[in-house]
Amino acid sequence: MKIWRKLSGERLLNSLTYEVEAAILRERENRLKVCIGSDSQVRGEVTDFATAIVFIREGKGGFIFMNHYKSNIKYSLKERMIKEVSDSIEVAYELCPLLDKFNVELEVHADINTDPHFKSNVALKEAMGYILGMGYTFKAKPDAFASSYCANKAVK
């Protein structure tokens, strides 16, 4: 079971879907958009993974729920990029019925560069196909702030 926290580090006490629904209801006077992204960092034999759920209040800032875990599996760069996308899609899939119920827009962000001169680009086509194939809106670097900036904070 993944432990979800607020950006402050405060642990979410209930299930993720319960906490997301409570947040949507609290924010009902604001127009919300949810962006989900994951990032990872290799440290020796361990890979740290994090996923961020970013709630954007149109014109009024936002807030974040995130989780973090470690893996001892040795991934190739491409495998690790696809694992990040898989983590994001897993969360999007769990939350999609709830977001649809409240008409909240959803984007899935991939920490993959669109510029072929960067190593992460090796997984761009697969990541884009995976996200779009699931029916979600896809964003990659430099527009993928949920993964590149928010989830990145948990693995730094």
Domain with residue 55: its CATH number is 3.30.420
| Dihedral, CA of residue 124, residue 129, residue 130 and residue 132, to nearest 10 | 120
Q: By the 8 A CB rule, do 42 and 144 touch?
A: no
* Threshold 0.85, pTM exceeds: yes
- What tens digit of pLDDT does each residue of 40-53 get? 999 999 999 999 99
On the question of a cis peptide bond just before residue 142, with omega within 30 degrees of 0, the verdict is yes
Going across the sheet that includes 32-43, the strands are 4-6, 62-71, 46-57, 32-43, 105-113, 137-141
CA-nearest of 55, 139, 37, 145 to 92 is 37
CA distances (Å), 150 to each of 67, 72, 119, in order? 11, 23, 21
CA atoms of 100 and 115, how far apart (whole Å) = 33
- What tens digit of pLDDT does each residue of 68-120 get? 999 999 999 999 999 999 999 999 999 999 999 999 999 999 999 888 888 88
- Structural domain range at position 91: 4-155
Q: At 7, which helix (H) or strand (E)? A: none
pLDDT at 39 over 70: yes
